[in-house]
Structure 1
Amino acid sequence: MVSRSLEKMMLIAVGLSSALIIGVPVLLYAINTMTTTQQIQYAQQASEAIFNATQQIDDGELTDITIQAYIPSKFAMMTDESGFTLQISIDTGRPQPETCMTWSEVFNHQIVVNYPLEPGNYYFTFAMVSNVIHITYSTSSS
């Protein structure tokens, strides 16, 4: 015959085990979702800043400009075949169809782009050279 207190302790142990078995994967999934959402938000903020700076050069408002932006992991920046459309994307790591988020904008001048492959804070310089917009990056403002 098992005592009542031992029975209660066993029920509590089974309940806690069940909570851990179910709760830990749910918690890890929630953390992963929050991290992915934050990376997408960083990419969107960077793309807005990059598009705005590119537009200022494209419109002739400025001949060159330098901005600072945080680039998340799995970030890519490229132009289409014509060189007039700038595309910025981030690999979300999610299953299809949400694997990649892409932002794009068409400009009046061709664009040559060089972007960082590692996440971090970068300075992007935008300059019009021979009627072509050049986008380069560095880790320092000089």
Structure 2
Amino acid sequence: MVSRSLEKMMLVAVGLTTAVIVGVPVLLYAIDTVNAASEFELARTFAQEVQNATDRVDLGVVANVISNVYVPNGVTVTATGNTLAVSFQKSTQEPIVWTSSYAHNIVIVGAPISAETCNMEVRMTSGTIEIIFVPHP
């Protein structure tokens, strides 16, 4: 009787060990996937905020836009002529770039270099769109 009980306990122990050995890596992969998806969504939301504000100023709908934005980790904002590019790169993956072209040239002042919350102001100055980032202290 004791040996059957011991046998059952050993089978349960082996089953639980197998579940942990297989389950933990799968769980960690799932968590990493969810984390990457949420980082991507934050970056996409940031890009949309910058592009929408720039579009409103470019079209003359408003003279300037001031908003509080969160710049996610891995995001860079660049401008070349009248093209604005917001890119997101997570570690070794290929960068994802959102670009928009406008009727006016764009200048970026104080482009964020790390994850931070900033005040962003988009305004028209002498026919040029200025996008100014000021980090919160």
Q: Same fold (TM over 0.5)?
A: yes
Deviation, 1:4, is 0.9
Residue 109 (structure 1) aligned to one of 99, 104, 111 = 104
Deviation, 1:94, is 5.9
Deviations, residues 87-123 of structure 1 (Å, cap 9, x unaligned): 111113464xxx2211111001111113212213221
Residue 87 (structure 1) aligned to one of 85, 88, 91 = 85
| Percent identity for Structure 1 against Structure 2 | 35
The answer to whether 1:41 aligns with 2:36 is: no
Structure 1 alignment gaps of length 5 or more: none
**Alpha-carbon separation, structure 2, partners of 1:19 and 1:46:** 40
Residue 137 (structure 1) aligned to one of 125, 129, 133 = 133
Deviations, residues 32-86 of structure 1 (Å, cap 9, x unaligned): 1111100111111111111111011111222221112221110111123xx2110
Deviations, residues 2-21 of structure 1 (Å, cap 9, x unaligned): 70111111111111111111
**Alpha-carbon separation, structure 2, partners of 1:134 and 1:19:** 56
**Alpha-carbon separation, structure 2, partners of 1:71 and 1:37:** 16
**Corresponding residue for residue 50 of structure 2:** 50
TM, length-normalised to structure 2: 0.89
Q: Runs of 4 or more off by more than 6 Å in structure 1? A: none
TM, length-normalised to structure 1: 0.87
Pairwise CA RMSD of aligned residues?
A: 1.8
8 Å CA contact retained: 1:110, 1:133:
yes
- Residue type of the alignment partner of 1:101: I
- Residue type of the alignment partner of 1:46: F
**Alpha-carbon separation, structure 1, partners of 2:48 and 2:33:** 23
- Residue type of the alignment partner of 1:16: L
Aligned residue pairs: how many? 135
